[in-house]
Amino acid sequence: RDVVHNPWLLHHDGTFYLFYMGNYGDGTFRGHRFNQRIGLASADDPAGPWTRLEQPLPQSAPGSWDDMVTCNPSVCRMADGRFIMLYRGYSHRDVPPGHGDILLGAAFADRPEGPFVRHSAPSPPDES
């Protein structure tokens, strides 16, 4: 019932970092859809073994724009040496019935392991 998907691989200073989406739930669509978080594992070789690390993007406070779902992580190193994570998310307050807008967030960290600190506000979805 629990699944891991949508991997993003980053290689930095001899270590491979695998960012992913993790779902857990009761086997129903809603049970899994509304329990998605970003996870992280590391290895010295892409063939493993992999070690699960702490959640790189800590759970947001209740009522935050991404308190229900954080998913689809993409991470890269910026010119200033910090790391940026772009991700999608949405809130408990937006569901149901329309499941709310899925917004794009940005978070920053000094190390690939995080913790990533959220930018103050998400970007709205592109309507083009």
User: For the chain, which domains are there?
Assistant: 3-118 (2.115.10.20)
The residue type at 32: H
Q: Tell me which residues of the chain have a pLDDT lower than 70.
A: 1, 32, 92-100, 124-128
Strands (E), the chain: 3-12, 15-23, 36-43, 51-52, 69-77, 83-90, 103-109, 117-118
Spatial CA neighbour of 66 closest among 101, 113, 28: 101
Written as one string, the DSSP assignment of 93-127 is GG-SSS----EEEEEEESSTT---EE-SSPBPPP-
pLDDT at 117: 96
**40 and 16 Cβ atoms separated by less than 8 Å:** no
pLDDT value for 87: 95
Q: Is 100 left (phi over 0), alpha (psi -120 to 50) or beta?
A: left
Structure confidence at residue 12 (pLDDT): 98
Cα separation of 117 and 128, whole Å?
Answer: 29
Can you give the pLDDT at residue 124?
67
Q: Is 79 left (phi over 0), alpha (psi -120 to 50) or beta?
A: alpha
- What pLDDT does 96 receive? 56
